[in-house]
Amino acid sequence: MTVRCDRTPAWQELRKHFEATARQFDLRQAFAADPGRFAHFSQSAPALFADLSKNLIDAKAEELLFALARQCGLQARIDAMFAGERINATEDRAVMHFLLRAGAAPAGSLAGELGQVHTTLDAMLAYADAMRADHTITDVVNIGIGGSDLGPQMAVLALDEFVAPGKRFHFVSNVDGHELAGVLKGLAPEHTLFLIASKTFTTAETMANAHSAKRWFEQSGGTDIARHFAALTTNVEAAREFGISTTFGFWDWVGGRYSLWSAIGLPIALAIGSEGFRALLAGAHAMDEHFRNTPLERNLPVRLGLLDVWYRNFHGFTSRSIAPYHSALKRLPAYLQQLEMESNGKRVDLAGDVLPFGTSPVLWGEPGTNGQHAYFQMLHQGTDVVPLEFIAVRDASHDLAGHHAKLLANALAQAQALMVGKEDAGGHRHFPGNRPSTFFVLEKLTPQALGALIALYEHRVFTSGALWGINSFDQWGVELGKVLARDIEPRLSSGDVAGLDASTAGLLARLRQG
């Protein structure tokens, strides 16, 4: 049983430590006082290296955070997830995305589920390789939104180096017809494969786009739906009713934002092949094992999750910025937004009681060096402190002379500048410094490394969510707007504003004009 973080003795100790000294913590002094700081606050984990030493944390705070994790029962919560317990209590579901990347069942108990996972995976990968080899298919269009879009889109972009030549990948998510119309413009039905990706197969945006794509396919002379459409869903029945016979299923114990490892990952498998997809899974599995089995002190997702709690609840930081110094990771911030903010953007605990402390920070970011020329001004000299996360890749996958050294130099220099600052009496040119950052190093952006990186973030979100005592696996907050949109849609043609507030009624009238 997890104990909520604020109900532990360690929480009170942390509060005291923060007020007494940690609030004034200075990175420059900490490095000067402790030559071992880098070694202590950095570590290797599967497929990556992480430097946490430029964070506003001292050994005492770290020790108390480990005590907090123990007093909260974090390990029991981790074990409960890996045992397949129904830890998603509000939906009465297990949370087992780790099983999608497991070679063997943990402790035998989930052998049945794992058998289904491998059967589906084998079928999906055989299909992916066959379609990959089919040169008449030049365009793959994934239609899905949220977890059925962001993960595959992010990964296909990130692994561009490994993508089969001769195939283009398109991702349509928005109900805004401009998006689908723009993609369809350049396509021929006989060369196109549509993947309708939806866990529920009921999501309004995806259904609207799927129907329009099917209509376009038929009206443009396409005939073989079975060959040109596949559905990736837990609701195979609904996909069949829609008219799609090629289906790849998954299970209700895979959350949408944790689903790129399932059939939802088919676009990734089509792009990088079955071997690449298995490497992606293997990288994530290695991180699962690290998370499950490593003592807290050297457990990277745990250390990061604890840091997140420290920053959010003691320093009071409300956002975190992600800076991938690799342009292929350009969709990573968007992917992480859903992962973290949909998981931990909660205001009540598991018992339904309103929390007296903050939870998910706002996540945002752009690839470096672009962000440097946009919002880094605020990170260096603004009034708010925003912890920044650098993700650098040691080896480039291009051979353009000089670029990669410039890129890496910029990443290092920004982290350094944030920390050291610069004295200047003039005010405008003064950099206060002492601004925190974390620095990840991947050797190369391979499927394996990407798998490990994503799983690292998943488990870090798990850690902070567990300490906060929330359910990181539901998303009731997305429901109200969906219901209201269904009510408003017919009013846009009828003009009926009865029962609407004055602002919504006024805007609706304006959108109907002309």
The contact set with ligand F6P (CB under 6 A) reads: 145-148, 198-200, 203, 206, 256-257, 342, 475, 478
Nearer to ligand F6P, 200 or 504 (CB): 200
Closest C-alpha among 81, 76, 11 to residue 254: 81
Which backbone phi and psi does 259 adopt, to 5 degrees? -105, 5
Cβ atoms of 416 and 431 within 8 Å: the answer is no
**Residue holding tokens 């342009």?**
327
Which backbone phi and psi does 123 adopt, to 5 degrees? -65, -45
Catalytic-role residue among 62, 113, 205, 342:
342
> How far apart, in whole angstroms, are the C-alpha atoms of residue 47 and residue 284?
10
The 3-state DSSP class for residue 389 equals strand
Question: Cβ of 331: how many Cβ atoms within 10 Å?
Answer: 21
CB of 264 to ligand F6P, least distance (A): 7
> How far apart, in whole angstroms, are the C-alpha atoms of residue 40 and residue 53?
8
Nearer to ligand F6P, 148 or 471 (CB): 148
> How far apart, in whole angstroms, are the C-alpha atoms of residue 449 and residue 46?
8
CB of 147 to ligand F6P, least distance (A): 3
Q: Is 373 a catalytic residue?
A: yes
CB of 196 to ligand F6P, least distance (A): 9
The 3-state DSSP class for residue 369 equals coil
Catalytic-role residue among 40, 422, 430, 482:
482
CB of 426 to ligand F6P, least distance (A): 49
Ramachandran assignment for 108, one of left (phi > 0), alpha (psi -120 to 50 degrees), beta (any other): left
Exposed/middle/buried for 83, CB within 10 Å: 0-12, 13-18, 19+? middle
CB of 200 to ligand F6P, least distance (A): 3
Q: Is 346 a catalytic residue?
A: no
Nearer to ligand F6P, 53 or 203 (CB): 203
CB of 103 to ligand F6P, least distance (A): 26
DSSP letter for each residue of 286-347: HHHHHHHHS-GGG-HHHHHHHHHHHIIIII---EEEEEEESGGGTTHHHHHHIIIIIHH--S
Give the residue numbers marked as catalytic: 342, 373, 482
